[in-house]
Structure 1
Amino acid sequence: MAGTTEGSKPDTTFRLSNGKTIILCGYKNPESKPTTYSEFILSVCGQDTIIDFWGAVLTCRLRVNKDTLLVDQLQYLPTGTNFKFQETVWTTEKLHFSGQKIVRELVVNRQIRKYNQDEIQSVLKSYETAKLGLDDSKMELANKLFIATISGDKKARQYFKEFKSKFGTLDGAFSEEYSDLVAMLELWDRKE
């Protein structure tokens, strides 16, 4: 991809209050406001060290808070009114320095909008009455079960775990999406 080859000019620089500069080489999503990035590398200006690579399947928004660079990973989740999918901060990785060494801390966004009891009951009913077979609407349901689960509902958690056995073999993009949700739930369940 253009812009990520060795020796190319950095696309964006982030100046921290402690005088350090972190540079980003990668893909800037031109339509997004504020700007988001995917498939990018972060490195420390003046060092040969690459901090890490964020892949093409991730969408991130970066911002500076004093001496820390914050990398917000965005997910489309049904957190809007009437279960509308919207861009939601899922995790924030905090990058700061201890001397010359970069320190990384990943934090799950615990402020994601939770479902109220009526919304949870609606999701549970949708699952209970859903016809067999897999399609886009079932994957929307998996996402809603995920949000109902992190909202604290035990039955939603049970349904989320049973999702694959109820609707049959997940393949391709459906399998990847469900696996991502399972990994997100495992991250959510870790006590910070």
Structure 2
Amino acid sequence: MKLSFFPALLGALSLGACQQQMEASTPAAAQSVSVPVRPAVACSCPAEVPQASTTPDSLFVFSAGPVVSVCGSREKGKQLEFFSEFAVSTCQPHKVLKYWDVREKCRLTFRNDTLTVESVKNLPAGKNFSYEFVTFRIDQFFPRQGQIRHRSFLNPRLTPYSPEEVARVKQEFEKTASLKPEKSIELANRLLLSALSGDQQAGIYFRQFPDKYPLTGGYAEEFAELQRLLRDWDREAAARR
């Protein structure tokens, strides 16, 4: 396996979750190069990707020879680095394999000849419902018969709440008549994770949420995103049955 990426990304290797991580099976397999990767391969960002620069942020070279680029935006925090509004594309020919919009924050890893993109969500999945980044959807790109294949699936290990925690969340919904918007959206997040933990009643409460706690503005937009996550989860769960 061989991995190639820009020198500017080397400083990101020590960062934590939701950062770009480029790993190889052995340290010697990782090499730093500049574009083009080799004279026969000229790689630029596809025109349809909303990207200010035509130069890819990073390149990944698979052992069988295909090269893919990552073009888009990186957001640097105090300890974390995210990719958002970006695309994974083949270099020859130029073809967008998948695009992630502004709603997504992702981390990238390259291991065992597979590029993995983890879409992460900041959800109350930690101790005492503290917020932490949780991997929600996983996309993988890998070579097969000279082509780059793509598979996408929801994180099957996402079961963040215990039965006791689910019971606490449902009880709060049942007994609380009104909440300030900032508190109600936190309850909506906890109900979502309770539903994702397999509790059907929590899912019903989540769908009833806008009727009991009306939301406007940014809070309504955040709830709409939570609704999208639950729809994706339910759709994939139904397909597995």
TM-score by length of 2: 0.70
The count of residues paired between Structure 1 and Structure 2 equals 188
Partner of 2:120: 74
Q: Distance in 1 between matches of 2:102 and 2:231?
A: 22
**Secondary structure of 1:50's partner?**
strand
Matches within 5 A, 1:45-64: 45-64=91-110
Q: Distance in 1 between matches of 2:114 and 2:145?
A: 13
Runs of 4+ in 1 over 6 A off after TM superposition: none
Q: Pick from 58, 76, 81: which aligns with 1:12?
A: 58
**Secondary structure of 2:93's partner?**
coil
Q: Distance in 1 between matches of 2:74 and 2:107?
A: 10
2:222 is equivalent to residue 177 of structure 1: yes
Q: Percent identity?
A: 28
Residues 141-185 of structure 1 show CA distances to partners (whole Å, capped at 9, x for unaligned) of 0110011111122221121111111113x3332222222222211
Q: Extract unaligned runs of 5+ from structure 1.
A: none
Partner of 1:99: 145
Q: Extract unaligned runs of 5+ from structure 2.
A: 1-49
Residues 30-49 of structure 1 show CA distances to partners (whole Å, capped at 9, x for unaligned) of 23656421111222123222
Q: Which has the higher contact order (CA 8 A, sep 6+)?
A: 2
Q: Aligned Cα RMSD in Å? A: 2.1
Q: Distance in 1 between matches of 2:127 and 2:147?
A: 43
Q: Match for 1:171: what amino acid? A: T
Bigger radius of gyration, 1 or 2? 2
TM-score by length of 1: 0.87
Q: Match for 1:4: what amino acid? A: Q
